[in-house]
Amino acid sequence: MPASTLDTFIAAIRDAWGPLTSDLVGTCRRASERLARAPSSEPWLAALLTGQPAAEELHRDAERGFVLLAHTEQAGLYRPPHDHGRAWVVYAVQRGEVEMRTFARIAAPDGGVRLVQRDSVVARAGQALAYLPGDIHDTRCLSETALLFRFTERDLKHEDRVESRVARYAAPEDGWASGR
């Protein structure tokens, strides 16, 4: 029996795994794009499309530490600017459209922190975007629903809740400010 697109994704990442390099990020992004184009007839994807889970872990690699999650998002769901601590991530859109904006963290004259929007991309089915350690971004679901895959090179729950390394930002009246 041929391997599923999910099995092929996991094998490709395991084979390429190593320290963070441009080649590794490129391999993970391309593999994520192939995963996002998987046929809906594959049982694992059919179950996601039917169940529409808010979050479901698809794979956790015990040896290498990477994690693959699926997220079904509803129209208008907004995740404010945040980074991923020391981690890097690849988001791939399987269905729907999601806007992802990037920001630069700028020191304000008063000693505070402001975010300046750098870019805005509407990711559509089959597209993947990579965010490296320290990159700040937000997300907004633009379609009725969207199915996203989030590949992380480490467990972000641990990075956030145990290590307290994830920064989130709140929107004051005059711009984004650190919410850490």
- Domains of the chain plus CATH, in order, are 5-178 (2.60.120.10)
By residue count, the chain amounts to: 180
| Apex 159 CA angle, 140 and 136, nearest 5 | 40
Angle between helices 5-16 and 43-51 (to 10 degrees): 110
Query: Which pLDDT score, from 0 to 100, does residue 123 have?
Result: 98
Question: Which residue in 99, 102, 94, 101 sits closest to 140, CA to CA?
Answer: 99
Q: What is the pLDDT along the chain (180 residues), one digit of tens a residue?
A: 568 999 999 999 999 999 999 999 999 999 999 999 999 999 999 999 999 999 999 999 999 999 999 999 999 999 999 888 888 999 999 999 999 999 998 888 888 888 999 999 999 999 999 999 999 999 999 999 999 999 999 776 655 565 566 666 666 544 554 444
Burial class (CB in 10 A: 0-12, 13-18, 19+), 142: middle
The phi-psi region of residue 96 (left if phi > 0; otherwise alpha if psi is between -120 and 50; otherwise beta) is left
**Entry pTM:** 0.87
- Note the pLDDT of residue 110: 86
Closest to 93 in 3D by CA, of 135, 50, 154, 151? 151
CB contact set of 114 (below 8 Å; sequence gap of 6+): 105, 106, 107, 108, 175, 176, 177
What CA–CA distance (Å, rounded) separates 127 from 92? 6
Nearest to 138 by CA among 170, 102, 106: 102
Distances, alpha carbon 98 to alpha carbons 48, 107, 139, in Å? 18, 29, 7
Question: According to the model, what pLDDT value does residue 180 have?
Answer: 41
